Chains A and B, each alone.
Chain A
Amino acid sequence: MQTFTYYPGCTLRTKAKDLDAYARASAEALGIGLIEPENWQCCGGAYTSATNEPATKLSAVRTLMAAKETEGLVTVCSACHNVIKQTNYDISRNEAMAVKVQRYLGLDEAYTGETKVYHYLELLRDVVGFDNLKAKVVNPLKGKKIAAYYGCLLLRPSKALAMDDPENPSIMEDFIKAIGGTPVIYAQRNECCGGYITLEDKAQAVKRSSAVMESAESMGADMIITACPLCLYNLKKNSGGSLPVYYFTELLAEALGLKEVSNE
């Protein structure tokens, strides 16, 4: 059995318990071992954009180091994935920063990006394989027209995240096909949901998330799936739309027969 270090992140312990629980259950069913590191801390949050400050890297590096003994580090929250992978990318290209971080953390040797970071979707695509996943599906989501919502930061910046084409991605559509559903391509699938701006200027978040919802509705989708807790929040609370919104792990678990079929 392949074993990976699994980093849930703060939101998955509070608001996004479904994203977490079904990710773990599905991994087990697919023969992937996920080990949660002890005493994990915040991923580093929005601080990564302060490129010159080593303090902003410490938290992510601590997490990355914890995964050194396993095959890689798996995250499922879009934001955690974005922060940790960007830090890993930056530090592998910036020796001076790696040395500063080493001194801050009191490490014996500098960490220079050795850990491979996977988003859970990449784990499904590159480790499990969508064909193998398809073979293990017991409850295919036949006839369901599913709109994949990538949001802004699952794929960007594309050079650092190296996951898929940020303007014309296919990883979630391929996932939907693997679990038996029909992917719906719509224009707003990789646009911003409004993000944290909902705290400050709710009208903006309403405008953004409604545009996403309307775009998916107009192309005939039955539901929207996402990997991001904040996207899910905005689409549910701010978009005013009628489509149900799920985490992709919920549908994965459903297809694998690990969750009761939703009747929404």
Chain B
Amino acid sequence: MQRIGVFVCHCGTNIAATVDVKAVAEALSHEPGVVVSQDYQYMCSESGQELVKNAIKEHGLTGVVICSCSPRMHENTFRKAAASAGLNPYLVEIANIREQCSWIHKNIASATDKAVILGKAAVAKVHLNAPLTAGESPVVKRALVIGGGIAGIQTALDIAEAGFDVDIVEKEPTIGGKMAQIDKTFPTLDCAACILTPKMVEASQNERITIHSFSEVSDVKGFVGNFTVTIKKKARYVDETKCTGCGLCTEKCPMKKVPNEFNMGLDNRTAVYIPFAQAVPKVATIDPNYCMMLKNGKCGVCSKVCSVGAIDYKQTDRFIEQKYGAIVVATGFNPIKLDKYDEFAYSCCPDVVTSLELERLMNAAGPNGGTLLRPSDKTHPHTIVFVQCVGSRCDDEKGKPYCSKICCMYTAKHAMLIREKYPDTEVYVFYIDVRTPGKNFDEFYRRAVEQYNVHYIKGMVGKVTPKADGKIDVQASDLLSNEQLHINADMVVLAAAIEPDKTARPLATMLTTQMDTNDFFTEAHPKLRPVESATAGIFLSGACQGPKDIPETVAQASAAAAKAIGLLCKNSITCNPCVAHSDELMCNGCSACEKVCPYGAITYQDKEFRMPDRSTAIRRVASVNPAVCQGCGACTVACPSGAMDLNGFSNSQIMAEVDAICK
């Protein structure tokens, strides 16, 4: 005979304000097998747990039902408490009467009725719970960081520092990411390259870090502690081990009209190229879309001038497979395309630029050597208008609903730098709100207004009109003085919204991690687990999780590294015992379960069976690899003969719950 204890939590007023907890405890005390039923203000507290432990010992309980918050919150807490009182932790069931009851109902009577029903279902289930023992699986002591911007670099350096091997996979020919393109950083105005490039060099020189540049993750298998990842090393037509980065090929390449991505297409590069002088690895890459040798077999200049014979036109994509214990996603962001914002004349006027383009125009290594000139006629601009929130805080599908967070600060930075360097230039900034929370941020913005006399105007720009004389008419409204303005500008700078990199979505599918509707990775808990994904062993670093500036990105990158190190330090991790298993006598070998298994945990074997007529037969039956199974339950639903079952969530348990609810 089962001896079941029921414990109803008030959760302060979270539950007790909507659910009559005493009535729930009273109603559940009459359920079959229930020998004790109590309520308490905070069941998860030390004394609440003591209550549960003492009841287990005192009443010799064989099953425990906690009516409280979601099992995602405290299932582990109560399992541990039960285990310390000598009860198998898998004999504990949670009835979620907070998220699924008290928080969503207003009427006390109906919420109480529902809480009782949820409690009854949990009691019915716990009657059928079997004690389970968790196995252990080893942890591969190597981490993978996907993305080699400042986030990925910082995470990799921290993990390597702790003594673990770490690989960076970067899709571009060099690491460095967006920060490498930035000129100065707010709020200190120190040079971005001066603080980033030493870190890039450090990453490349660290023995524990392997950089796979110009590479992509093409497949991920396995689970926490034991991922198997296939990395595609894209053909760069240059042997990385031989190239010394001397740059002779890039000087001699006759194909010189390739838009230079690093300078946002504001100047040209050659078909064989090194993205920028401080690139890591400093290795040339041939762009097959422009290389005449690769396109029609006529040229071969780079091969002739290369003294070490590094050019290899026959190189193909290579795939390497590597095992990892932890994966950190650091795929970063991009500014949105502005093709839906033609009211700002971006596509038809070269003097209307994005903020990232302005970074390159002002950068000493940029197309103008650091002198700010209009792209159209290379003259010095005397009036510059900045437009903020282009595509951010947008209420239609043209843009993004969120605030891109970094634009207010970098616009203030641009405005200040221009006023500092070219005092004869008038600078206007149009804004919806100026948002500058952060250490020394608001002071920075106020300096732009008060010391540098940047004209901040609350209001949006309605139309940007290039004129025949080369000037640009900016029509806008000043909302504070309620006036229509026309500014005769030389340049317009658009603070384009930022969005996650396009590679993030397919990567999330490979990693079975969650994303929000904007394609930002979702953290396991928005407050308490901000750098972990909901999938064990996958961590989040930088702007792939949400818009962030550099200090925040670096802080999160180190936090993600700490979490990954915590995992890699363990020799083995406890597996989830709630895995599927197949009843071989019922299995008819149809393969339905194998097709739906997202983890590849199910295989088929031919086994010998003794049949009812005493003959023997060879039958094909499913078998589950418990180390790979994640207990999602897809196979149990798909199985037409009912042979698949899930430990802890068996078909009979689910049916017992349904019966209890429908009774």
Interface residue ranges, A against B (CB under 8 Å): 165, 167-168, 185, 187-188, 191, 215, 218-220
Contacts and interface: CB of A to CB of B under 8 A. Distances in A.
A106 B343 CA distance: 45
Interface in B453-471: 463, 465-469
B341 A167 contact: yes
Given A187-B463, A187-B467, 9 more contacts: A168-B347, A168-B348, A185-B348, A187-B465, A187-B466, A188-B465, A215-B467, A218-B468, A220-B468
B348 A191 contact: no
Nearest to A191: B463
Contacts of A219: 468
A219 B348 CA distance: 14
B424 interface: no
Interface in B323-357: 341-343, 345, 347-348
A30 to B, nearest CB: 31
A185 B349 CA distance: 12
Contacts of A191: 463
Nearest to A185: B348
Contact of B467 (A167, A185, A218): A218
Given A185-B348, A187-B473, A165 B342 contact: yes
A110 B200 CA distance: 67
Nearest to B465: A187
12 contacts: A165-B342, A167-B341, A167-B342, A167-B343, A168-B347, A168-B348, A185-B348, A187-B345, A188-B465, A218-B467, A218-B468, A218-B469
A165 B343 CA distance: 11
Contacts of A168: 342, 347-348
A42 B401 CA distance: 41
Most buried by A among B341, B348, B468, B473: B468
Interface in B80-110: none
Contacts of A167: 341-343
Contacts of A188: 465
A161 B82 CA distance: 65
A165 B463 CA distance: 15
Contacts of A187: 345, 463, 465-467, 473
A216 to B, nearest CB: 10
A215 B465 contact: yes
A215 B348 CA distance: 15
A187 B475 CA distance: 12
Nearest to A166: B342
Contacts of B468: 218-220
A204 B283 CA distance: 62
A191 B469 CA distance: 20
Closest 3 CB pairs of A and B: A167-B342, A218-B468, A187-B465
A4 B473 CA distance: 43
Interface string B347-370: 110000000000000000000000
Contacts of B342: 165, 167-168
Contacts of B469: 218
B338 to A, nearest CB: 11
A214 to B, nearest CB: 9
Nearest to B464: A187
A117 B341 CA distance: 27
Nearest to A186: B468
Nearest to A218: B468
Interface string B463-496: 1011111000100000000000000000000000
Contacts of A215: 465, 467
A166 B610 CA distance: 75
